[in-house]
Amino acid sequence: MTEARLEAGAPAPAFTLADKDGQHVSLSDYAGKKVVLYFYPAASTPGCTTQACDFRDSLNSLAAAGYQVLGVSKDQGPALQKFAEEENLNFPLLSDPDLAVHQAYGAYGEKSMYGKTVTGVIRSTFVIDENGVVTHPLYNVKATGHVASLRKKLGIDA
């Protein structure tokens, strides 16, 4: 477990993870492109569904602004496949079952849930520029309204 948080200007930690179909996806596959990398607690749960559908519905405008969206959770292939199919998700969902990438990004650790301190996935989003540098490290984001807020931060018209 890590409490380390990435700061703007930090190099984005490299990773290779399996997608919902078992294909390997690496951050280096997106070299020269802008990436929105978001971490969510669990596929097919209410908050995560809301957030994923917001990304899905904003994908065209994000892509038009040059951003590729990648979602990461500890869920494995079958759960990711089901989630993608049920919600018509049109961006890669990546599996990090050992939480190594979550930890590298500071997206796993202590958080407050219903007034109690627990250890778990910290809903987080990272905007990574064409050079692999984190420009917007966003921790403890809310599932509802997050994508709209992110679009404003990135200067993308609604």
Closest CA relative to residue 77, chosen from 61, 94, 92, 89: 94
Catalytic annotation, pick one of 6, 12, 25, 48: 48
Cα–Cα dist 25/16, whole Å: 5
Task: Tell me if residue 53 is catalytic.
Answer: no
Q: Please report how many Cα atoms fall inside a 13 Å half-sphere around the Cα of residue 134, on the Cβ side.
A: 21
In this structure, the chain runs to a length of 158
Map tokens 């904003």 to a residue.
58
Cα–Cα dist 140/50, whole Å: 16
Active centre residues (catalytic) = 48
